[in-house]
Amino acid sequence: MVKFLKPNKAVILLQGRFAGRKAVIVRSFDDGTRDRPYGHCLVSGISKYPAKVIKKDSAKKTAKNSRVKAFMKVVNYSHLMPTRYTLDVDLKDVVSPDSLVTKDKKVTAAKEIKKRFEERFKTGKNRWFFSKLRF
């Protein structure tokens, strides 16, 4: 019996505005906190997937299509579907529970995540994570 809801695990959100989007667990709170007495975790995910990029595209088009829009959210475990994939992007220093409190902190954190996700997408690794889930 292994605990699998750990940081860097790729999950799919099941409920809410970002249902069907893939995300990465940044921090998990198994026992919950006083405000949230249930198991939950801080995830950061993709709200807008990067478009298809092919070799024939011009540099401008590639740059435009590789953009990723990211989000951060605190999600209950029961609203996640864990997957067997992981994404080891170091987001711990950027995303923290208090960066979700105020709007400007949220925006700066989201921008940082976006940058890191885009870097990772451009290297071509973790292709599953950056592809849209069709349903």
Partner 1 sequence: MVAAKKTKKTHESINNRLALVMKSGRYTLGYKTVLKSLRNSKDLEEMNLLLVFKSKTLIGEVRKLVIIANNCPPLRKSEIEYYAMLAKVGVHHYNGNNVDLGTACGKYFRVCCLSIIDPGDSDIIKSMPSDH
- The verdict on 84 binding partner 1 (CB under 8 A) reads yes
**Among 7, 20, 62, 77, which residue interacts with partner 1 (rule: CB under 8 A)?**
77
- In the DSSP assignment, the letter for residue 78 is G
Dihedral over alpha carbons 14, 86, 3, 25 (to 10 degrees): -50
Residue closer to partner 1 by CB (options 78, 102) is 78
- The verdict on 35 binding partner 1 (CB under 8 A) reads no
- The verdict on 33 binding partner 1 (CB under 8 A) reads no
- The verdict on 2 binding partner 1 (CB under 8 A) reads yes
- In the DSSP assignment, the letter for residue 66 is T
Residue closer to partner 1 by CB (options 25, 110) is 25
- How far, in Å, CA of 14 to CA of 86, rounded? 18
- How far, in Å, CA of 34 to CA of 57, rounded? 51
- The verdict on 54 binding partner 1 (CB under 8 A) reads no
- The verdict on 134 binding partner 1 (CB under 8 A) reads no
Q: Tokens for 60, please give them.
A: 């401008």
